Homo-oligomer: A and B are copies of this chain.
């Protein structure tokens, strides 16, 4: 806990205290934008690092190592003297007392930025969570990597053909950008990376199923780009099935429904990329500040991202539901969080300078993209839509540019260059034994 004497040493002249909860894109960009503001910033996170989530699927598929897409928050903010970083677990928010409550203490604030994001959502079937891990954190990624690699290992030693087939069946639920990128990477692994690695099985016999409830993949993109993505997935051996609903997940099978017919597919490896649910702090803001929540628990913010009736509380990123731009909420993607983080910082600085409020937040959509294996991607940038190699190169370039630290950029570049030349994925480690139980089941 912080020394309370130090915090209140100069009650008259003390700086405005900004507390930021969460060191993802929203929280980190807000902290950085406050570097030269006359405020004292405290950034709270449960983890000691910022994670570059758009590349998490590369860790899940052995293309990159966790350390390559994570940057220690302290190290990113070390030169910013008005900012301190605390490794802390936030339990709740005392809105009336203007304090953030921690599992082992508390922090007072004058302005609060809440940027705790979202987790996967199983639509009321939380019993599916251990059977079908989602992809939000580093441990999720290494768990998915472990399951995928282990399935090939077990198949190699399985004499029964039907059981072997079940081990070689990989099901991805949800064909948004994460599901599409995961499926593409799995297709590449099965057809290229593991080509000569096994003696009994042929990895390219693996069946990779990408399931989507909507009538096409990448629902937020145009039908043309969706068709181009579908074609690229098929070239990598991925079977795309749209218009299907997952009705059950068991340890050894997935059950689907399409119209009136149901189907049970034997598999041991189901990955969840279907839905997200806001962090529990949304609920805390609803209880403490009367914040309105949407269907998945996101805080429905004012045009200036504040909680209605509480101008001192700003909610940004995946936890915020912002519907003031064109009626439907902004998507939960990194650029929205970054721009909201910068806006939050400007709002606080503006108020402190006595300049009153700011015009409503306005998201500038510079485009979005998804890769499908190597050399293929789909992108829309401004008015342009394109696919193929050029989209893939743009994807590489943009993702490299936005990596927060220079050494990560260098390492990821070297790793990608090597993976490209060699078709290899060097980070194919099955880890997690020592304290979490045995690897072999």
Q: Is the CB of A66 within 8 A of B431?
A: yes
Query: CB-defined interface of A396-440 with B at 8 Å, one 1/0 digit per residue?
Result: 000000000111101100110011001010111111111110111
Name the contact of A436 in the complex, choosing from B157, B199, B415, B436 (C-beta under 8 A).
B436
**Given A143-B435, A414-B411, A415-B411, are A67 and B65 neighbors across the interface (CB < 8 Å)?**
yes
Distance in angstroms between the alpha carbons of A70 and B78 in the assembled complex: 31
Q: Is the CB of B153 within 8 A of A87?
A: yes
**Given A87-B153, A411-B411, A418-B407, are A139 and B434 neighbors across the interface (CB < 8 Å)?**
yes
Name the contact of A438 in the complex, choosing from B89, B426, B432 (C-beta under 8 A).
B89
| 9-residue interface stretch from A44-52, A206-214, A275-283, A377-385 | A44-52
Name the contact of A429 in the complex, choosing from B72, B86, B414, B430 (C-beta under 8 A).
B72
Q: Is the CB of A428 within 8 A of B143?
A: no
Distance in angstroms between the alpha carbons of A140 and B410 in the assembled complex: 27
Q: Is the CB of A3 within 8 A of B159?
A: yes
Name the contact of A48 in the complex, choosing from B78, B153, B406 (C-beta under 8 A).
B153
Interface residues of A in 16-74 (CB under 8 A from B): 46-49, 64-68, 70-72, 74
Name the contact of A105 in the complex, choosing from B2, B49, B150, B157 (C-beta under 8 A).
B157
A86 to chain B, nearest CB (A): 6
- The interface residues of chain B lying within 8 Å CB-to-CB of A104 are 440
- The interface residues of chain B lying within 8 Å CB-to-CB of A422 are 407
Distance in angstroms between the alpha carbons of A49 and B150 in the assembled complex: 12
Is A197 part of the binding interface, using a Cβ–Cβ cutoff of 8 Å?
yes
Q: Is the CB of B66 within 8 A of A432?
A: no
A235 to chain B, nearest CB (A): 24
Is A149 part of the binding interface, using a Cβ–Cβ cutoff of 8 Å?
yes
- The interface residues of chain B lying within 8 Å CB-to-CB of A66 are 65-67, 429, 431
Q: Is the CB of B426 within 8 A of A84?
A: no
Query: CB-defined interface of A269-290 with B at 8 Å, one 1/0 digit per residue?
Result: 0000000000000000000000
Is A137 part of the binding interface, using a Cβ–Cβ cutoff of 8 Å?
yes
Q: Is the CB of B1 within 8 A of A157?
A: yes
Q: Is the CB of A405 within 8 A of B426?
A: yes
Distance in angstroms between the alpha carbons of A140 and B64 in the assembled complex: 21
A32 to chain B, nearest CB (A): 16
**Given A48-B149, A65-B67, A137-B434, are A78 and B197 neighbors across the interface (CB < 8 Å)?**
yes
A100 to chain B, nearest CB (A): 14
- The interface residues of chain B lying within 8 Å CB-to-CB of A3 are 159, 200
Output the nearest chain B residue to A89 by Cβ-Cβ distance. Answer: B440
Distance in angstroms between the alpha carbons of A367 and B159 in the assembled complex: 48
A91 to chain B, nearest CB (A): 11
Output the nearest chain B residue to A130 by Cβ-Cβ distance. Answer: B435
Name the contact of A440 in the complex, choosing from B103, B196, B440 (C-beta under 8 A).
B103
Output the nearest chain B residue to A156 by Cβ-Cβ distance. Answer: B86
- The interface residues of chain B lying within 8 Å CB-to-CB of A143 are 434-435
Is A138 part of the binding interface, using a Cβ–Cβ cutoff of 8 Å?
yes
- The interface residues of chain B lying within 8 Å CB-to-CB of A363 are none
Q: Is the CB of B414 within 8 A of A47?
A: no
Q: Show 9 A/B contacts (Cβ-Cβ < 8 Å), sorted by A.
A: A3-B159, A4-B159, A46-B440, A74-B198, A104-B440, A138-B431, A139-B435, A407-B415, A432-B435
Sorted nearest first, the 3 A-B pairs with minimum C-beta distance are A139-B434, A67-B427, A65-B67
What is A's interface to B at a CB cutoff of 8 Å? 1-4, 46-49, 64-68, 70-72, 74-75, 78-79, 84, 86-89, 103-105, 137-140, 143, 149-150, 153, 156-159, 194, 196-200, 405-408, 410-411, 414-415, 418-419, 422, 424, 426-436, 438-440
Besides A72-B426, A78-B197, A138-B431, 11 more A-B contacts (Cβ < 8 Å) are A1-B159, A2-B159, A4-B159, A47-B433, A48-B430, A65-B65, A65-B67, A66-B67, A87-B440, A88-B157, A405-B426
